[in-house]
Amino acid sequence: MKRPTVILRACPTYDVPMIRGIVRDALETLDLRPHGRTLVKPNCVASGHYFPHAFTRSEFLEGVFLALKDRATGAMTELALGERSGITMPTRYAFHGAGYYPVAERLGLKVHHFDEASQVEIKLNHPGRLRDSIYIPEPVARADFFVNCPKFKAHPWTTVTFSMKNYIGIQDDRHRLIDHDHRLHEKVRDLQFVLQPRLVAIDAITAGEGRMLTPKPFHLGMVILGDNQLAVDSVCCAILGLDPMTVEHLRLAFESGFGPVNLQEIEIIGDVSLADAQKRAVGFEKGLIRVEDYFQGSNIRAYAGPPPADGGHEYCWGGCPGSIEEAIEILRMYDDATDQKMPPVHVVFGAYKGPIPAKDGERVIFIGDCATWQGDIHGRNVQIASTYVDRSQKNPLEAKQPDIFSKMISMETLLWKARKEDVVRVTGCPVSVAEHVLALVRLGGLKNPYFDPNEIFRFTSAYLSTRTRNAIARLFGRPYNALSFDGRGDASQMPLGTLERST
């Protein structure tokens, strides 16, 4: 049986013709011809001035699209770009900051903003799934030739983010937030059963190290391509000296039969050897730092106990603790004086049982529905009870779309009402990066990045555009489509194109 192929190519700069040639070569080597509805999904979690290394670059995408056109047959009916950017951020705003619209216009691409698309149900039946069906945007379900174009980055929740983790962006916020907690890795595995890409092309020219939203640039000078995304991600791990079986969603995908993690079972070709790629990556800073360690040396002191027992995790790697790490980095980037301005504050996650040595005047914030604690703060007995709702009680069809402006109002209201309290409770599962930003802004008297005069007009205009379009669409029966599609219980027979309708 043919081994999955991973291609490592040198590409020192974001030169569109060079990227086009590299991707066209890969399509020829892998004997792939785009056809039908061809959909390319980048990683555009955030973009623009404050997030310059968080997203797949527009030049990279342009090269990929041109190569797809070069190899297309007459049977290609649509060439499209689709993504859902970071939670509460309008995809239109992120696409604008990433420079995607001029590329789409030049190449005549269809653009799908997944936060404006109809959502369809995908039925799942594989063993160990978190739920029996999930919701994804219709353009993903209908894609015949899916191309995954992530950015090579570190990630605070999952160590790294390559192609499999990029699937989080095929869900809109209301569905993406469900199970985005201590069982995030299982969610990423479950999403794999929706569809597998024909081609993976990773932007590893300027990789992002350390974090996910505000990574530091790390020049790798490579494009990494392949026809099996578990094989591609395993090679990316090998480049960083990381055992793919230690990245939980990769281990779960392996156990579900999505492909190999053993390099002997992968054909690695290209003009960069694995050894050379490893040399290029020496010193790359990965993610996965516990919140207590992350804030060492700052005025924020963090404490974390275990999340709810389902899944058997000792720490919530997929939710609130990682969100506050990303939030503080956004604020540090926006305001150099963030750490000086922030007063001593204690933040508590999960079922923490240890002491909280808050001095007089220092506030204690319990974050997330699963936070519990009992003890003495400033001479007063404090009892924090869990408000966690089991995932079996969360119905995706009843999930509310989070709205950044209503989040601002509710966070402001909560903290204003608690302005004289030394103990504050912030609920949510997860409490998102945006909510952590808003809470820290208020607690520290910091500059609010959402009110950045250079961005607020574009942000608000994208927000209003998306809200208006969705409101109009709701009048005509969206956001849910009555269509239902079957995923696959058997990874060896994964759909590579349009799923089968089940209703």
| Nearer to ligand SF4 among residue 113 and residue 182 (C-beta) | 182
Would you count residue 320 as binding ligand SF4 (CB under 6 A)?
A: yes
Residue 181 interacts with ligand SF4 (CB under 6 A): yes or no:
yes
Question: Residue 411 Cβ, how far from ligand SF4 at the closest point, in Å?
Answer: 16
Among 66, 136, 289, 370, binds ligand SF4 (CB under 6 A): 370
| Residue 415, both tokens | 């903290």
φ, ψ for residue 409, nearest 5 deg: -65, -45
- CA 447 → CA 30, 110, 333, 338, 450, distances in Å? 50, 37, 11, 8, 9
Can residue 430 be called a binding residue for ligand SF4 (CB under 6 A)?
A: yes
* CB-CB contact of 344 with 365 (8 Å): no
Identify any residues that bridge with 76 across adjacent strands, giving them in sequence order. Answer: 36
Determine the angle formed by the axes of helices 58-71 and 100-107, rounding to 10 degrees: 20
Contacts to ligand SF4 from residues 383-422, by CB under 6 A? none
Give the Cα separation of 4 and 265 in Å (integer): 8
Name which of 133 and 387 has its Cβ closer to ligand SF4. Answer: 387
Q: How far is the CB of 420 from ligand SF4 (least distance, A)?
A: 26
Closer CB to ligand SF4, residue 429 or residue 446? 429
The least CB distance from residue 304 to ligand SF4, in Å, is: 8
Tell me if 229 sits within 8 A of 196, measured CB to CB.
yes
Q: Which of 90, 210, 319, 444 binds ligand SF4 (CB under 6 A)?
A: 319
- Rounded Cα distance between 496 and 483, Å, is 19
Stretch touching ligand SF4 by CB under 6 A, among 29-37, 238-246, 314-322, 491-499: 314-322
Nearer to ligand SF4, 22 or 429 (CB): 429
Could you say whether residue 316 binds ligand SF4 (CB under 6 A)? yes
Q: What secondary structure, in 3-state letters, does 438-494 show? A: HHHHHHHCCCCHHHCCCCHHHHHHHHHHHHHHHHHHHHCCCCEEEEEEECCCCHHHC
Among 368, 444, 449, 487, binds ligand SF4 (CB under 6 A): 368
List the one residue out of 45, 267, 14, 280 whose CA is nearest residue 165. Answer: 45
Helices marked H in 75-121? 91-98, 100-107
Nearest CB to ligand SF4, comparing residues 243 and 310: 310
Tell me the residue number closest to ligand SF4, measured at CB.
319
Residues 6+ apart with CB under 8 A from 481: 118, 119, 120, 138
Query: Of 187-195, 275-283, 367-375, 450-458, which part binds ligand SF4 (CB under 6 A)?
Result: 367-375
- Residue count, binding to ligand SF4 (CB under 6 A): 14
Residue 297, SS3?
coil
Q: State yes or no: residue 182 binds ligand SF4 (CB under 6 A).
A: yes
In the complex, the smallest distance separating the C-beta of residue 368 from ligand SF4, rounded to whole angstroms, is 3
Chosen residue from 429, 440, 441, 491 binding ligand SF4 by CB under 6 A: 429
Does 350 contact ligand SF4 by CB under 6 A?
A: yes
| List of residues contacting ligand SF4 (CB under 6 A) | 181-182, 307-308, 316, 319-320, 349-350, 368-370, 429-430
